[in-house]
Amino acid sequence: MYKTAVAAGDRSRIASLQFLLRFMLLASSYLAFGYLGIQLATLSYGISLIWPPIGIAIALLLRWDLRLWPAIIAGGIPLEMLASNRDWLFGLQISLSSAIPIYLCCSLLRQFSFDARLEHQKDLILFGLIAILGCPALLAFMGVALLTWHDVIMVTDFFTAWWNWLLGDITGVLIFGIALLTFDLNRLAILFKPGMLLVFGLMLLLGMELFVWQATPFVLALSLLPVLGLIWIAMRTNLAVTSWVVLLFSCVAGYGALNQAGIFAGLPDPPLGTWLYITSLGMASLIVAVTSMENRLEAEQMRYAIGATNLGTWDWRMDEDRIEVNDNWFRMLGQPPRSGEIRFVDFAELLHPQDRDPTQKAIGQYLKGQTDQYRLRLRMRHANGTWRDIQSTGAVTERDFRGSPLRMCGTHMDITEQLQTRLELDKTYNFLNRISEQIPGAIYQFRMDAQGHASFPFANGAIEKLLGVTVEKLRETAQPCFANIHPDDLPGFLESIEESRQNLSLWRAEFRVNSPRIGWREAYSRPQRLEDGSTLWHGYITDISERKDMEIRIQNLALTDELTGIENRRAFLNQLEQEWNRCKRHGGPPSFVIIADIDHFKRVNDSHGHDVGDKMLCHFTALIQQSIRRNDSFGRLGGEEFGILVTDSSLEDIQALAEKLRATVAASPLRIQDGLELSLTASFGIARLKEDSAAFDDALLRADRALYAAKHSGRNRVCMENSHGDPPSARA
């Protein structure tokens, strides 16, 4: 930890020292080149048409640190004191009028994500608008306004002084600013190539002839040669080289203007002529340099991209019958990599004999406009004698004035391995399908992406019979599968998938589908998380309709009385407990329990046998069922004793119902063989379901006591709990 603190302290001291050195360098450069600009002043009021300090300041602030802007003031105060012979306060005002626009200019460029390398036209345009035009205009206005306020410049000369100041600042940014901004020794190294040095040397000689010697009688005709030379350099190098060549050439022109020599010496305003010449030369060459550099950069990126993808490129000049191809074009055919030219007949000889006519036909149809694109799979001979599958694509890139194609460019891509892989995958897929056809179910992959979109990337054909959706639709989306699930099962089905997705837990579900026929399905799958955040399940689904039917039958047997088909004692008690719990939670209209018992049932069994007794039980069950509501529970509690659970009723209604049941039973004797009828009566005990009871079957006990009271009172009676006499509706 101590070493870390020491290292951090060392870095801080180095950074502070570096900041101080840069501050001193910027201040001294501003002072030195400003003094040089004053010495080169060719206009009134000491205004120069080349003002290097502004370009130097903008370049160094952008390259180093905007916090160095006070260095402009530090260098500007002594500069203005030397230039005007005034006190430091005057120098401070003029320096501030220069520092503020420069700082604003650099800050604005930073906000627009300006790239100081100026490798793209957008950055050059941004720099031109803000640094070359905007900053000088503001700086010149503020400077001239201050000089006018101090009576250094007459008010009548305000616009002229502003215009001259503006021109000098523009030249300073254009010539010095860009040169310093793009300075890079690695980029400047290209200037020292023999061809570049020769052109550069000739340009300097021409500059000396144009602006210093004027030894030849046709010197004016030579004024265009530097333009051609500079553009030649700009097209073949970079902005750093071009800007420094412009800087050095401008120094020669400036020297001639200072000595009132050169091709513009005879003009009414020689400095302005020189300014226009070098500014136009600089702007044109810099624009050409940036454009060429951007084009070369795009070409290099395209070349590297093509090289990385192993694409072969071809460029067919139809009128010359030559095709330029790159290294990869030869390499994919097993030939030594080289860039070169072939003829169309050479290309045709490499084609598989069966592909030659189709290839020429496809090209002809495309050139005639019969097809929208040229795209063809063909076979070409490899150096080892094998045939490679090639995907060929192309388009017309040049036409003559009649619209006829002159040039067509395209690519070749070796897809041999891809086709072999696809063939192997098809074999594997067919094999899996044949195996899965022998399985009584379907195997599948289910995928859900991070956004919740679900699909089945793989499923065998059996899944269509199980889910009622084709494999093709399931590959696109799982929504048709979800739509086919029973509405009562769908919410739980989706919740279980989400839980498995979040926890990566084994997924199992039983659910019903509506088609191709209503039935039960069971699915198992195990999830895994993919790199893109999606989840992939591998699983198995089968039809469990028969098993579920069996389970339902077994469940019904466990809860149904075998003789009468109504609820058995267990099922009835379950219903009673659920209703008691509901009453405790929610209250509401009262519920009642009725216990019914067939009178003298033992005599029937003893006199007529158990078969007749069973018929009497079923007859009694049918009579009760047709007289109660469908939502009332009715069960056999044992022997000849039955229970009825009536919900949402009242004391008057329950008594009326019980009396109705008693009367219906008494009026419906059981008919047996030979026209013999057995009279049938029953006794009924009623009890209310109380929320404050200790147990749910408390009402059953109270109803049983009421039933006992009815039996004790002579049978064929209806008694409420705690009642021991015959109610008005009872009869023997």
The total of other beta-carbon atoms located within 10 Å of residue 428's CB is: 10
Strand partners, 594: 644, 686
Cβ-contact 62, 135 below 8 angstroms: no
**Whole-angstrom distance, CA of residue 274 vs CA of residue 278:** 6
Tokens 């600013």 label which residue?
177
Contact 57, 26 (CB under 8 A): yes
Residue 724's SS3 state is coil
Encoded tokens for 586: 């929610």
Instruction: Give the three-class secondary structure for 543.
Output: strand
Question: What is the distance between the alpha carbons of residues 720 and 696, in angstroms, rounded to a whole number?
Answer: 18
Which of helix, strand or coil describes residue 539?
strand
Query: What are the helix (H) ranges across 215-269?
Result: 225-236, 239-258
403 Ramachandran zone, left/alpha/beta (phi>0; psi -120 to 50): left
Question: Which ranges in 609-650 belong to alpha helices (H)?
Answer: 610-625
Number of H helices, E strands in the chain: 27, 18
Helix (H, G, I), strand (E, B) or coil at 667: coil
Residue ranges with strand state E in 415-480: 442-448, 454-459
Strand pairing class (519-529; 507-513): antiparallel
Sign of the Cα pseudo-torsion (43, 45, 48, 49, in order): negative
The CA distance from 591 to 648, in Å, is 6
User: What would the two tokens of residue 595 be?
Assistant: 């216990």
Residue 461 corresponds to which amino acid? G
Cα-based distances in Å from 369 to 360, 372, 405, 665: 14, 7, 11, 95
437's tokens? 């056809």
Question: Which of 653, 723, 645 has its CA nearest to residue 689?
Answer: 645
The answer to whether the beta carbons of residues 47 and 59 sit under 8 Å apart is no
640 a catalytic residue = yes
Q: Which pairs from 392-400 meet CB under 8 Å and 24+ separation?
A: 392/359, 394/314, 394/316, 394/366, 396/366, 396/367
Q: Please state, in angstroms and rounded to a whole number, the distance separating the CA atoms of residues 628 and 613.
A: 23
Residue 61 CB neighbour total at 10 angstroms: 24
Tokens coding 370: 């019969």
Dihedrals φ, ψ of 534, to 5°? -80, 165
At 592, give phi and psi (nearest 5°): -135, 155
**Cα–Cα distance, 456 to 223 (Å, whole number):** 75
Q: What's at 268, amino acid-wise?
A: P
Q: Cα–Cα distance between 489 and 477 in angstroms, integer? A: 20
8 Å CB contact between 650 and 590 = yes
Dihedrals phi, psi of 401, to nearest 5 degrees: -65, -20
Q: How many CA atoms lie within 13 A of 668 on its CB side?
A: 19
383 residue type, one letter: A
Buried b (16+ CB within 10 A) or exposed e, 656-671: ebbbebbbebbeeebe
Query: 211 CB contacts (<8 Å, ≥6 apart)?
Result: 252, 253, 255, 256, 257, 261, 262, 263, 274
User: Please, what's the b/e burial string for 239-248 (b: 16 or more CB within 10 A of its CB; e: otherwise)?
Assistant: bbbbbbbbbe
- The label of the residue with tokens 């009676």 reads 717
Marked catalytic residue, from 80, 209, 567, 640 = 640
Annotated catalytic residues are 640
